[in-house]
Amino acid sequence: MKIRIFDTQAEAGVYAASLLERSILATEKPVLGLATGSTVIPLYKALVRLVECGLDVSQMVTINLDEYAGLPPGHEQSYHHFMEHNLFAKIPVAKNNIHIPRGSAANLLEECARYDEIIRRHPIDLQVLGIGVNGHIGFNEPDDLLISRTHVVNLTDETIQSNARFFEDSKSVPRQAITMGVQSILQARQIVLMAFGENKAAAIAKAIKGAVRTDVPASVLQLHRDVTVVLDKESAKELELQTND
């Protein structure tokens, strides 16, 4: 596991974007697993800039981690909307190469099966992850058992309260989501985990330095052969580490 700590979120985003660029250039039809949330915005800004400077993403396939259950793609807090606003409207990626779970699907279990088939057909070269304050990755919440494949999850009160800042109030936050499972995440060839801010410091320390445990889902990343953790100084506060392996 490689750990890189930056002075600013913008610098961290540029570095993470360079890892995506390397993956994009390494294969004819690269597959990127993408995440949402404020943490990845500096990454997407830097990636857009690379495209403006000549990086070809026309053959890229993207597979997003998750989506709120019950929100249509056009809802301003849906992850479809987030991705369109922060990335897809700004780069020339083919629409049929963009995959995000359909949270408004009539049958969510069938949607999970459909999404697993997409992941099976398009093995992920590089998976981008954020981390929740409770250690979740995607919407894989702390539990006695972590589910391997795409599934519907009941969001914890902690996650609902954390995400309430994006909605009118906590009552407006969906109570369920569709998320890629931990096995699908771990099958990616490379993983980039990003975290910013002091409120993520405890989760990062538990995920990186603690035991592998289901009540800290991000800790399973210790089992992967190629993980780069991209932090700012605040999110790295509780780590005792050397930045070079």
Instruction: State how far Cα 144 lies from the chain centre.
Output: 22
9: helix, strand or coil: helix
The question of whether 134 is a catalytic residue gets the answer: yes
Query: Would you say 103 and 215 are in contact if contact means Cβ atoms under 8 Å apart?
Result: no
Known catalytic residue at 66? yes
Q: How many helices (H) and strands (E) does the chain have?
A: 7, 10
Instruction: For residues 151 and 140, give the distance between their C-alpha atoms in angstroms, rounded to a whole number.
Output: 9
For residue 218, which amino acid is it? A
Catalytic, 141? Answer yes
Active-site hit among 80, 99, 136, 151: 136
Is 85 in contact with 68 (CB distance < 8 Å)? no
- The one catalytic residue in 21, 64, 66, 111 is 66
Buried b (16+ CB within 10 A) or exposed e, 190-228: bbbbbbbeeebbbbbbbbbeeeeebebbbbbbeebeebb
Q: Measure the CA–CA gap between 131 and 127, rounded to whole angstroms.
A: 13
Annotated active-site residue in 64, 134, 140, 163? 134
| 128, β-bridge pairs | 192
**Residue 81 appears among annotated catalytic residues:** no
Catalytically annotated residue among 80, 141, 151, 163: 141
Nearest by Cα to 172 from 35, 85, 68: 68
Q: Residue 16 has which token pair?
A: 């993470």
Active site residue ranges: 66, 134, 136, 141
